[in-house]
Structure 1
Amino acid sequence: MKTLKDFPYKQVLVLGLAKSGTAAAHLLLDSNIRVRVNDLKADESSEAVQALKQKGAEVFLGDHPLSALDGVDLMVKNPGIPYENPLVDEAVNRGIPVVTEVELTSHLHKGPLIGVTGSNGKTTTTTLIHKMIEADGKPVSVAGNIGSVSCEVARSTSDDETMVVELSSFQLLGTEDFRPDVAVWLNLYEAHLDYHHTLKNYHDAKARLIANQTSEDSLVFNADDGKIVSYLPNASAHQVPFSLHNKEKGAWTDEENIYYEEEAVMSREDIVLVGPQNLQNILAAVAAVKQVGVSNQAIYEVLTSFTGVEHRLEFVTESNGRLFYNDSKATNILATSYALRSFQQPVILLAGGLDRGNDFEGLLPYLSGVKGVVLFGETADKLAETANSAGIEQIEIVDTMQQAVDKAYAMSDAKDVILLSPACASWDQYSTFEQRGNMFTDAVHKLK
């Protein structure tokens, strides 16, 4: 496995031992770099901690002593740890660079690197790109926010292998030299203000994706998103737009076909994925894979068979004429509005979750096809007010997902869509959106 060569740092503090921290610490130790590890909750006797100690890591557990920074010239932090953390704050005060493990990836991977970010659609687009390159018979790997730690994956990639990395704003904020050969910027909306504090901070974190690109690189961007377009004057990369509305250079569509430049790639009626947001994701993926020479045949093979990513407008089953969709990844208003626009049939909407202080007026224009709502979590009352404003007569508030599915089924008729699309994060009741989605699908399969 590859290790870091000519790495400019000699002693590194790894803050947070989750998957990314553990992978980064092992990489650094294998590269003969001195490593300290600090974690608030890790168990001293755990296999992960013991393995790092056996390799020579100095481990601090249970608190965040500022002395852990003494002699350190780089911090690699877990992306979810906020910059208000006392160790992170002190590192910044001392002038110690603070990065996430994604930064290490660029020191390892030598082949083409495609980085994908956006407020919505990252995982679907990353998956499409990966599958299209794979269908074309080219070596490819996938990593990042999609599930696999990128610096760990990069340790075993070949020099001719394309690496596709899904990148969150948390990860990108901790980059200095990270430079994708192809940057894919899907959209920009309000999100994660509890972490970034201001919308500008959040948008600027996303813009780190393109900060180090040169004229030799490509920037695939959403030409329909004015906030992204506002960053383009500072972009050095070759710009490749995608658009639902304009016949731009790059990837675009009319009522019949998907195009790249002037060439029709395939017919829209052959595409399996539903929804306008997925059409944007498809255009972005087509534009991205064209930068690495993928054929139309490979694109066609993927788009005629790919039915979606789990928890992202995922078709679950049909039961007594009702169609059940799991969109648990819809953790904000925009994602839920996209889901609602995906169906012509009447919808029973299941929604609610963590209260981040948002109101839900932004959903009002998309509730006209909703015949009933079943609500849960901290935002249930707020969403009930919005549903009432929309003139929805059937409004139920429940405590559990099984209750939600049972109530939704009772409201529904044959040919209705029963849609879990919460418009909120899951952390008030569930550890992850995946757990929430799994509870939904389990409840659906328990229906009698």
Structure 2
Amino acid sequence: MEKLIVMGGGESGVGAAILGKDKSYDVFLSDFSKLKPKFKAKLQKEEIDFEEGGHTVSRLQEADLIVKSPGISDDLEVIKNLRESGIKIVSEIEFASWFTGANIIGITGSNGKTTVTNMVYHILKNAGLSVSMAGNVGFSFAEQVARQSFHNYVLELSSFQLDGVEDFRPHIAILTSITPDHLDRYHDNFQEYIQAKFKITKNQTKDDFLIYNKDDKVIVNWLEKNTVKAQLIPFTNTTIMTDLSAFIENNKINIKLNHNLFTMSVNDLSVKGDHNTRNAMAASTAARLLKIRKQTIRESMESFQGVEHRLEQLGKINKVAFINDSKATNINATFYALDSMTAPTVWIVGGVDKGNVYEDLLPLVNEKVKAIVCLGIDNQKIYNSFSNCVDTIIESSNMTDAVAKAYGLTEDNDAVLLSPACASFDLFENYEDRGRQFKEAIQYLKK
């Protein structure tokens, strides 16, 4: 019996352990931190052996195969040593893909991937297909492969998940954007991060498709210099007319797949903004490749409600609007958020800096932001970047404090925007926890 060791006991790790047991591996899970009670209970129910609060290196070295959770860096000494000893280390996405023949739509990008993933899932679900979402969203891909049998998986894939890919091959890959992100994990080397993103297409063949953002110079530049076996389908907010393309003409989305043309008015999209038009083009292109009816796609795009924690409108208190963009964990995502603001804005920003260059936001901050509330342990870079163009910059100790201070700086018809441009791990469990606390703090204000 092959020995499978899973490193990391979160959603993906526990899912991998369950799939491993299902496929007759001898499974052991090891987590450096304390396991959450719900994950510990799951492992105990499945009778899977585990340890928490540290790795026993001698046990790790017994592995025939290691599935490593995406949060664990390849640069850790223990990981380097295990690789050097010849042990194969893969991601949960790679491991799960070995045990399913389902059709896979893989979606990655610095920004937009969650929205596109949800859009594709929404269309396929409305079309009556057997489909599930997994990867960076929803429940573990591996656990779903073990416990259920879907014909289609829509996978949101982070660069960390793609780092551990060897044979993983999506039939349709979507690349939404590449901007500097997670550079702390990639040795401050943007090229390493770009390479990680493009691993989504490395095993694709001429029978597969790569749908990509032609308006993204980083993506276009990489494609000009590298060979891709998949059929390329660009999407763009400008006008192009190649046999395989998605583009805008006369305020309409046009998707051209050889002799087949799909059109939809941009005005009919439920979510607004240029970035969401691109997202809709990418998702609709994937749906057309899967032969989804045109009317189903149109109806789905008209009814799509957006994604929680991404420019989520939370209503008003005394004529002050509150917008939850907790999912904005990098500069580019916050750029979209600030660009969409039409009211004078009190901006809540900060967290764990991933190598941010805040200066890219200066023109928008200068135009849109009347005050800044810092939400992080170390806010010096924010002060240094914006003190010359924003008169009021204050610190807060927690989300309730941040929201109260932000509201106190507003007048009628202003807006409070949570768009942190940073990871959440200094004060929160994850961006969802940060967004939920933002909503709770607003409810507290209403009392």
**Normalized against structure 2, the TM-score is what?**
0.90
SS of equivalent to 2:340: coil
Q: Is the 8 A contact 1:274 1:342 kept in 2?
A: no
Deviations 1:75-118 (A, max 9, x none): 11111111133432122102222101111222222231100011
Q: Is there any run of 5+ residues in structure 1 with no aligned partner, and where? A: 1-8
Aligned to 1:340: 338
Q: Is the 8 A contact 1:349 1:418 kept in 2?
A: yes
Alignment of 1:33-432 (within 5 A): 33-42=25-34, 46-51=40-45, 54=47, 57=49, 59-156=50-147, 158=149, 161-197=151-187, 198-232=189-223, 233-249=226-242, 250-254=245-249, 256-261=251-256, 263=261, 265-367=263-365, 368-389=367-388, 391-432=389-430
| Root-mean-square deviation over aligned CA pairs | 2.4
Q: Which amino acid aligns with 2:158?
A: S
Change (3 A) 1:61 1:138: closer
1:394 Cα offset (Å): 3.6
Q: Is the 8 A contact 1:110 1:158 kept in 2?
A: no
Q: Is the 8 A contact 2:6 2:68 kept in 1?
A: yes
User: Within 1, Cα distance between the matches of 2:158 and 2:165?
Assistant: 11
1:383 Cα offset (Å): 1.9
Deviations 1:213-242 (A, max 9, x none): 000001011111122223333210011111
1:278 Cα offset (Å): 2.0
Q: Which amino acid aligns with 1:242?
A: F
Change (3 A) 1:380 1:438: same
Q: Which amino acid aligns with 2:376?
A: G
Deviations 1:136-158 (A, max 9, x none): 22221111111311111223554
Aligned to 1:24: 16
User: Within 1, Cα distance between the matches of 2:379 and 2:52?
Assistant: 38
Of 427, 436, 439, which aligns to 2:437?
A: 439
Change (3 A) 1:246 1:13: same
1:10 Cα offset (Å): 2.8
Moved over 4 A (4+): 42-46, 59-62, 156-159
Q: Which amino acid aligns with 2:162?
A: L
1:446 Cα offset (Å): 2.5
Q: Is there any run of 5+ residues in structure 2 with no aligned partner, and where? A: none
1:413 Cα offset (Å): 3.2
Q: Which amino acid aligns with 2:343?
A: Q
Change (3 A) 1:203 1:415: same
Deviations 1:352-405 (A, max 9, x none): 12234534111112221222222221353432333333x333433332323332
Change (3 A) 1:180 1:17: same
Aligned to 1:6: none
1:193 Cα offset (Å): 1.8
Q: Which amino acid aligns with 1:321?
A: K
Aligned pairs, how many?
435
Q: Which amino acid aligns with 2:2?
A: K
Change (3 A) 1:212 1:244: same
SS of equivalent to 1:108: coil
Q: Is the 8 A contact 1:220 1:239 kept in 2?
A: yes
Aligned to 1:15: 7
User: Within 1, Cα distance between the matches of 2:271 and 2:95?
Assistant: 34
Q: Which amino acid aligns with 1:228?
A: I
SS of equivalent to 1:300: helix
Aligned-pair identity in percent equals 37
Q: Which amino acid aligns with 1:181?
A: H
